Structure 1
Amino acid sequence: MKDLFIKTTQQKYWLDQLASIAEPIRTEAKEVDEQSRFPFEAHRLLLQIGYPRLTLPKEFGGEGLSVYDMVLIQETLASYDENASLSLGWTLGVVGEIYETKLWADDALHLLAPEIKNGAIINRAVSEAATGSPTRGGRPGTNAISTKQGWLLNGRKIFTTASPVLDYFLTSAWIEEKNQIGFFLIHKDVKGLSIEENWEMSAMRGTSSHDLVLTDVVVPSNYLVELPSHPSGGKINGWILHIPATYLGIAQAARDYALHFANHHQPNSLNAPISTLPNVQQLLGDIELKLHQARFVLYGVAEAYDVPARREFLTNEMAVAKHTVTNLAIDVVDKAMRVVGAKSLQLTNPLQRYYRNVRAGLHNPPMDDMTIIKLATVAIEQQKMKEN
């Protein structure tokens, strides 16, 4: 079904590039989960094909892929290894957002672009233990003080995805003298920066989302690259769709496994594989239906975002896509496990990994409760405006 959403030769080219490295990435995925380590081989292979520069605009030396393109490619990569997809997806999303909206000054954009073109990995470091998700508006405990040498930063960040391979940490900090939050571009080799390897999760174990620790880190004055008016940016950002794309890829992998199993598993009590049984067909049909629903929502929103004339009418659609796709993906994996039965819980079976990892999507931003409440408040206000 995904072929229905391939629209350009450029998309086909990058899907073919991914397909050429699919097997070693799939093979490593099992070991990555078991050992709770970063997928270094997948990272190496993705760098070889130029993955980090996909969403960098062509004028800056990148491939200039759109949100729609990114979603298509991210979903495919996640069907090979969801840890690699989510980890590298953050670079695609951050770069896409920064350069599309010209979020930084020109000097800063031109400073980073050659690094990304040559394979640099970047992610935002925002979450803290005391604040929870940054989208809820908590003030960071990490602080920045202006000095003669530059900005002096101290603090700790949690959930720093892809920390073992990040070249740049786009780190939020509270600036007392400005009475607001700022984002600082920090290189991995700066003095005082360290990674505390404490990522001990049952889901997405290979993202290595360890703590980032900043101890008297000094960065140049011009490395304060963002002064957002809202803790979460406050603007519609289609580039966050790399998140639900990853969880849709997990659902696709679970579907593929369940379908193969159903077509080949034949207990001696049957004269044909279990795919001929009505109850199994009901589960498989429901899986297909939910994948269709998820894709039409995700790709429909991505396509709307990529058209400026349509983008101006978007309000909560990014959150709706994330909520819809993630919850449908969880349901797909659950039904795939019902097809396979108790064997799906064996540690050698990939379905148990998909089951754990797909649920991590519930805890990626935006959160389900915030999406639902925002939809309600917007609807209420729109109705009031109509009546006045």
Structure 2
Amino acid sequence: MMQTTNFFGLSEEQMMIRENVLELLERVMPREKIKELDKAGEFPFEAYQALADAGWMGLAYPEEFGGAGGSNKDLAVLIEAMAYHYGGIATAYNTTIVYAGMHICRHASKEVREELMPKIIDGSAKLALGLTEPGAGSDAASIQTKAVRDGDEFVINGQKLYTTCAHVADYLIVVTKTKPGSGHKGMTIFLVDAKQPGVTIRPLDMLGRHTTHANEVFLDNVRTPASWMIGEENEGWKNLMDCLNVERMCIAAVGAGNTFKILDYTLDYAKQREQFGRSIGKFQVIQHKFADMRMKAETNRLFLYRVADLLDNGQNAVMETSMAKVVATENNFEVANMGLQIFGGAGYTTAYDIEMMLRDARIGPIGAGTSEIQRNIIAKLMEL
């Protein structure tokens, strides 16, 4: 359990969410298992299915789709707790349930929702979102993957890059151009069977997040039914924007939970490690690092729950979710870096988890819209 966190403001039900998910993950995914999976680069299948079996995959989906109809704050609490245990399992959850699954929930046809939502919720269908390309990272409107109608199907050709969890996905949410040369206005999103001929997925060797690593995805004359279009033709950009607030909130939740984990983990070490006849936590230089780490961790949580409340109140909190994403991910990495410094030479070995925490945290300010892009958004909304 979190040692340093003040839980004021959470309902009794939200406290139960936190306690139940932490108890489950501690049982099915102990620390030695996490290290084993990280070293092998293996997806946390057992923990993922355990979360599904416990009903957590449906928390944020409407009851009409078999979900629990939970609030944004419920979702934030759940993901924060998962990330406190291990950031990788929270990323695995987010990839299917939020980044890709929200497109199915909000914009797919009734038939696609009825077919796929139960499989997402019971854990039998994993998804990945294919947006970034070799020539289109921050400039997402410049994607080149094309979809051309052929009767009742669309034929898709192109390449996606850094597609998280594509290697274990049953379905891909693929962002394409159906009207080349028209920028944002010509984008269309499709559901694609990841196992069909023409889809080639190659894992990438990444610095961190080894259990939910990124992949290259090649689409060579891949056919998908026109009925699997997500939303309207040429309106994909609007749908992407519609899902971004929740996505950024959930990324902030990963940063918030993981930052507190690093804080608690390093605090335990500092109380036990002795130099010059006393624990290193007794030295003021170390105490000040912990004071800074605690302030950063608390700031993450304040931003996270603030944006969750705004979204639950129906606010279009684009600026606030962008700020939360920047603050939580940058603080996450900074606290991991400070934690490794406190561990000293021991932290640079694989004997302790702090080196893995540092590697895993580094993607936060890069993925799903860099910190620089988020700052552009914030400045634009300030009418600069």
- 1:343 and 1:177, CA in 2 relative to 1: closer, same or farther beyond 3 A? closer
Name the structure 2 match of 1:201: 206
Name the structure 1 match of 2:107: 103
Letter in 2 for 1:185: L
- 1:95 and 1:211, CA in 2 relative to 1: closer, same or farther beyond 3 A? closer
1: CA distance, partners of 2:53 / 2:252: 25
- 1:68 and 1:238, CA in 2 relative to 1: closer, same or farther beyond 3 A? farther
Structure 1 residue 165: Cα displacement: 2.6
Q: Deviations over 1:198-239 (max 9, x none)?
A: x11112122132122222221111111234363773347331
Name the structure 1 match of 2:294: 288
Over the matched positions of the two proteins, sequence identity in percent amounts to 22
Name the structure 2 match of 1:173: 176
Name the structure 1 match of 2:34: 29
Comparing 156-165 with 352-361, greater Cα deviation is found at: 156-165
Name the structure 2 match of 1:219: 224
1:137–1:232 Cα contact (<8 Å) kept: no
Name the structure 1 match of 2:133: 128
Name the structure 1 match of 2:44: 39
Structure 1 residue 194: Cα displacement: 2.8
1:28–1:41 Cα contact (<8 Å) kept: no
Comparing 121-130 with 234-243, greater Cα deviation is found at: 234-243
Q: Which runs of 5+ in 2 are unaligned?
A: none
How high is the TM-score relative to the length of structure 1?
Answer: 0.87
2: CA distance, partners of 1:27 / 1:38: 15
Letter in 2 for 1:265: R
Q: Secondary structure at the match of 1:233?
A: helix
1:149–1:218 Cα contact (<8 Å) kept: no
Q: Secondary structure at the match of 2:160?
A: strand
Structure 1 residue 319: Cα displacement: 0.6
- 1:296 and 1:278, CA in 2 relative to 1: closer, same or farther beyond 3 A? same
Name the structure 1 match of 2:80: 75
2: CA distance, partners of 1:377 / 1:117: 37
1:53–1:63 Cα contact (<8 Å) kept: yes
Structure 1 residue 11: Cα displacement: 5.0
Q: Secondary structure at the match of 1:363?
A: coil
2:153–2:223 Cα contact (<8 Å) kept: yes
2: CA distance, partners of 1:15 / 1:307: 26
- 1:144 and 1:367, CA in 2 relative to 1: closer, same or farther beyond 3 A? same
1:264–1:273 Cα contact (<8 Å) kept: yes
Pick the aligned partner of 2:160 from 157, 165, 171: 157
Structure 1 residue 3: Cα displacement: 2.4
Name the structure 2 match of 1:345: 348
Pick the aligned partner of 1:372 from 372, 375, 378: 375
Pick the aligned partner of 1:230 from 217, 224, 237: 237
Comparing 223-232 with 337-346, greater Cα deviation is found at: 223-232
Pick the aligned partner of 1:278 from 281, 284, 289: 284
Letter in 1 for 2:174: T
Please tell me whether residue 242 in structure 1 is matched to residue 242 in structure 2: no
1: CA distance, partners of 2:347 / 2:383: 44
2: CA distance, partners of 1:379 / 1:304: 18
Q: Secondary structure at the match of 1:362?
A: coil
Structure 1 residue 52: Cα displacement: 2.5
Structure 1 residue 289: Cα displacement: 1.3
Letter in 2 for 1:260: D
- 1:371 and 1:160, CA in 2 relative to 1: closer, same or farther beyond 3 A? closer
Q: Which runs of 5+ in 1 are unaligned?
A: 382-388
- 1:128 and 1:322, CA in 2 relative to 1: closer, same or farther beyond 3 A? same
Name the structure 1 match of 2:61: 56
Structure 1 residue 61: Cα displacement: 0.6
